[in-house]
Amino acid sequence: MSKGYLILETGEIFEGKLIGELNHKAGEVVFNTGMTGYQEMITDPSYAGQILTFCYPIIGNYGVNDYDNESFQTAVSGVIVGDLCDEPSHYQATKRFSDQLEQAGVPGLAEVDTRALVQTIRKHHTVNGTIARESDLLNVHDKWQEVSSAKLVDHVSTKEVKTYKGGYPHIVIMDYGYKKSILAALLNEGCSVTIVPYTYSFDQVKSLEPDGVLLSNGPGDPMALASTFSEIKKITQEFPTLGICLGHQLIALTYGGKTKKQSNGHRGGNHPVKELLTGKVRITSQNHGYVVVEDRELLTNFQISFRNVNDGTVEGIKHLTLPVQSVQFHPEAHPGPSDTEYLFAQFLQQAIVSGGKRYAEA
């Protein structure tokens, strides 16, 4: 492996060994504290446009398999690791971590002081970077222009309708960059699922005759999708709706709420959230850089259902009169705990009740 460098727009440079395929793309440098799940993370569409730093020191020790990808493409713009294991030991492993990056055309750096890098990220809160060779160190002044959030969503969202036949109820997933595990969680409950592009209008969704609609996770700033708010509002007023991560933020914004960018975001598999109705604390998987703001506009239409134990931020909301709820965390996990998987069953029960009423009226 040849020498490579992570160059931050703030001037810091971190040395390492190049892995993957160098493409000179810039991205926001973020970190995840999870101890496992690196394959799911690099294929999670919510990481599109970001250079992901793994806090856990050893990455690649159980290789990469044919089952755990969360999308059909490796989504990250780059990867930073401390100790790269290129001799994996797991009976399901079909290739090395570095092979996955190379085949996907994604650059990476190994043997980086990730502890120092994470401290630097926390100091700057938001910082862009690019992975380069030594010969590029003096020629990166034009690398810091970020790809717009709308373009990121457009890149990871499906371009065609996909249908998975099952039983009842029928759920439509609005795809802003959905994770495969969300689809699997719904199918495991026995329902039918149709995945549609995020640009689908209310009339297009209604023509599919769903019993419920799920707004998926995805990358970037939710305000970049402001043009879709009016259609989302119509959908939520007609069908039981569940929002996850970006979908949670979009629901809040649609009803006049606000979002803000966090200093470092929540990315990891052990984030505690308190369910306010029961008082129980659930451990959750999270991956986001924006949060919903708790203010008068939000509380006009929603009650807070979950709150982050560590920093008090809003982690879940329920509409006061409509069967609409959303959560900032990932109830499907992968990687992470399944403490909140029951939310899918609650959502599907709402869809069954609502669907039954519509059929009776028809």
Q: Selecting from 3.50.30.20, 3.40.50.300, 3.40.640.10, 3.20.20.150, what CATH number does the domain 3-147 have?
A: 3.50.30.20
CA angle 294, 298, 302 (to 5 degrees): 110
Confidence at residue 137, expressed as pLDDT on a 0 to 100 scale: 74
Q: What is the distance between the alpha carbons of residues 17 and 84, in angstroms, rounded to a whole number?
A: 10
Half-sphere exposure of 124 (CA within 13 A, CB side): 18
Residue pLDDT, tens place only, 134-158: 877 767 665 666 678 889 999 999 9
The tokens describing 158, both together, are: 């499906």
Q: Which of 231, 233, 240, 191 is nearest to 355 (CA)?
A: 240
Residue 357 pLDDT grade (very low, low, confident, very high; cuts 50, 70, 90):
low
Confidence at residue 358, expressed as pLDDT on a 0 to 100 scale: 63
Q: Which of 271, 288, 330, 334 is flagged as catalytic?
A: 330
Q: What's the whole-number mean pLDDT along residues 174-182? A: 97
pLDDT higher than threshold 60 for residue 359: no
Which amino acid, one-letter code, is at 218? G
Confidence at residue 72, expressed as pLDDT on a 0 to 100 scale: 87
pLDDT higher than threshold 70 for residue 114: yes
Confidence at residue 291, expressed as pLDDT on a 0 to 100 scale: 98
The tokens describing 20, both together, are: 């993957």
Confidence at residue 103, expressed as pLDDT on a 0 to 100 scale: 94
Q: What's the whole-number mean pLDDT along residues 102-113? A: 96
Q: What's the whole-number mean pLDDT along residues 288-294? A: 97
pLDDT higher than threshold 70 for residue 362: no
- 23 vs 164: which has the higher pLDDT: 164
Q: Which residue has the tokens 């120092």?
A: 116
Q: What's the whole-number mean pLDDT along residues 257-273? A: 96
Known catalytic residue at 332: yes
Known catalytic residue at 271: no
Which amino acid, one-letter code, is at 37? G
Confidence at residue 147, expressed as pLDDT on a 0 to 100 scale: 72
Q: Which of 226, 223, 342, 336 is nearest to 277 (CA)?
A: 342
Q: Which residue has the tokens 């401390």?
A: 82
pLDDT higher than threshold 90 for residue 356: no
The tokens describing 267, both together, are: 């990315």
Q: Which of 40, 189, 231, 332 is flagged as catalytic?
A: 332
Q: What is the dihedral angle through the alpha carbons of 347, 349, 354, 355, rounded to the nearest 10 degrees?
A: 110
Known catalytic residue at 40: no
Share of the chain above pLDDT 70, in %: 96
Domains 3-147 and 154-361 share a fold: no
Q: Which of 28, 191, 245, 315 is flagged as catalytic?
A: 245
Q: What's the whole-number mean pLDDT along residues 56-64? A: 97
Confidence at residue 144, expressed as pLDDT on a 0 to 100 scale: 62
357 CB-contact burial (10 Å; exposed 0-12 / middle 13-18 / buried 19+): exposed
Half-sphere exposure of 39 (CA within 13 A, CB side): 24
pLDDT higher than threshold 60 for residue 248: yes
The tokens describing 250, both together, are: 């979009």
Exposure string over 107-129, b if 16+ CB within 10 A, otherwise e: bbbbbbebeebbebbeeeeebbb
Residue 173 DSSP SS3: strand
Q: Which residue has the tokens 């398999």?
A: 65
pLDDT higher than threshold 80 for residue 361: no
Exposure string over 318-344, b if 16+ CB within 10 A, otherwise e: bbeebbbbbbbbbbbbbbbeebbbebb
pTM comes to 0.95
CATH architecture of 154-361: 3-Layer(aba) Sandwich (3.40)
Confidence at residue 154, expressed as pLDDT on a 0 to 100 scale: 94
Q: What is the distance between the alpha carbons of residues 115 and 134, in angstroms, rounded to a whole number?
A: 22
Confidence at residue 196, expressed as pLDDT on a 0 to 100 scale: 98
Q: What are phi and psi of 277, to 5 degrees?
A: -65, -40
Domain residue ranges of the chain, discontinuous segments joined by +? 3-147, 154-361
| Sheet bearing 324-327, strands edge to edge | 162-164, 191-197, 167-175, 212-215, 241-244, 324-327, 314-319, 302-308, 259-275, 281-292
Q: What is the distance between the alpha carbons of residues 234 and 311, in angstroms, rounded to a whole number?
A: 33
Chain mean pLDDT for the chain: 94
